[in-house]
Amino acid sequence: MDFEDLIPSPREGRRVPPERGALALDEATALHAAPGTERVAHWLRGTLGAATGLPLAEGREGRAESGIVLRVDPELAPEAYRLAVDGHAVRIDGGSAAGVFWGAQTLRQLLGADAFRRAPVDPARRTWDVPAVVIEDAPRFRWRGLMLDVARHFLPKDGVLRYLDLMAAHKLNVLHFHLTDDQGWRIEIRKYPRLTEVGSWRARTRFGHRASPLWERKPHGGHYTQDDIREIVAYAAERHITVVPEIDVPGHSQAAIAAYPELGNTDVVDTTALSVWDDWGISPNVLAPTDTTLRFYEGVFEEVLELFPSRFVHVGGDECPRDQWRLSATAQARVKELGLAGEEELQAWFTRHFDRWLTARGRRLIGWDEILEGGLAPGAAVSSWRGYAGGVTAARAGHDVVMCPEQQVYLDHRQDAGADEPVPIGYVRTLEDVFRFKPVPPELTPEEARHVLGTQANVWTEVMEDAARVDYQVFPRLAAFAEVAWSALPAPAERDFAGFQRRMTAHYRRLDALGVAYRPPTGPRPWQRRPGVLGRPVDGPPPNR
């Protein structure tokens, strides 16, 4: 495999003499793991060893002049790596174990598409050539994320583990795990068992956008046990991926209210009659701003913190209708008690309560950009989804930001304007559009831009009924997004999309080997279409603001 086919593209790569030379890995190749790299070596044996059939035996001490050599070099930045291949060895140095791991991912690409399989396709093959190159690389952003919504359509644990592998193959390092919403509660909370007994399943599901008349008339549900979550978090950590949990408050909470009616605005609506929502959109049923609700969710977050070591905890905060609060005597009494100007400040008070609660436990609150409304605590961070404006406002106010504007990197948006596109949602966002995405708004000063932690692609699964549909929407665009998040690219108009397409020719073979049901460049395959299922297409170019 040519090193010029790598995705994401490295900062610097060059061949070393002899030109077109290569190092052959074979059954005698040893894997030397210096202190701090043992887990990377374990991963290499489990993946490359399985794909190639090579034993990659543990190297002997003092014999690290040949084979594959892994080392930590504190002179490098934490996620940076240097991969050097000569006639004797593949040497991967990283600023930390994470850097070594990203270098190992590059080695896997250099070995060709068959290195992405789970068993050898040619058992008779005895050697695997690595081109003689030196690659020096480091990521642009420290937050390179994928938001995966498992609340609308549940993705079983094995599917989540698979997506962690796919993220690692693209050098992404944050899984934003959207675990709760109106349509389902997906995480076991032992203190409140009805959250999963009641809240994890719905009686039916609308097929398509909410304008569609079609229904899947069977129960849909599922949840992760706490041991499942521990497994997911540990699996992610071995791949140097942080899992950031999202527990949505105070809106998008009908599943929780269906399980525990006292959480809702009981003086406005009969919450005992509510069920887990079977439709899409924004439910009017939101949490009541009461001490009962605060104590309940403190109990939820106590168990969440035990399961997720992530510094950041996402609390949602988006799309919270305040109509029930306006009608609720209880909510209005709280507004008066706190001396607030209205319902907007009431939501800000709700958010600040959990910001203080999380800060006291050494964590940081992050939420969607609506949490800026009514004032935000100094340490909170913002996921800017309603375009760039929220991120600009947050950064100028000194808040850290993750840029994930809906109009640019929502991968549930359609990939083409053609009639065969399945359940078309939103703006057309092609592979090239994602490749030309600019995460840092140009109006930010250099000081303000330092608050941009990174960027994230979001995958909302209302119209993605199974893993194959998720694959179709995510790939190949996630490869372009990964390059934007990792690589030091020029301005969007100056990027070499033709060169990226050429590299994608090799990358499609890797995705084939991984079993990814991506959208082909020529359009959806017959079984990827959803004829007659209504979506919500939006015409014209998306706003760039």
State the catalytic residues. 181, 252, 319
Secondary structure (DSSP) of 225-242: -HHHHHHHHHHHHHTT-E
CB 168 within 8 A of CB 236: no
- The answer for 519, left when phi > 0, alpha when psi is -120 to 50, beta otherwise, is beta
Residues 143, 402 contacting (CB under 8 angstroms) = yes
Phi/psi-derived region of residue 540, left when phi > 0, alpha when psi is between -120 and 50, beta in every other case: left
Packing angle, helices 477-486 and 467-474, rounded to 10: 50
Q: How many CB atoms lie within 10 A of CB 515?
A: 12
Question: Residue type at 386?
Answer: R
| 451, 441 Cβ separation under 8 angstroms | no
CA distance 536 to 149: 19
Cβ pair 156, 49 in contact under 8 A: no
Q: What gap in Å lies between CA 13 and CA 81, rounded to an integer?
A: 12
DSSP string, 179-202: -EETTEE-B--TT-THHHHTTTEE
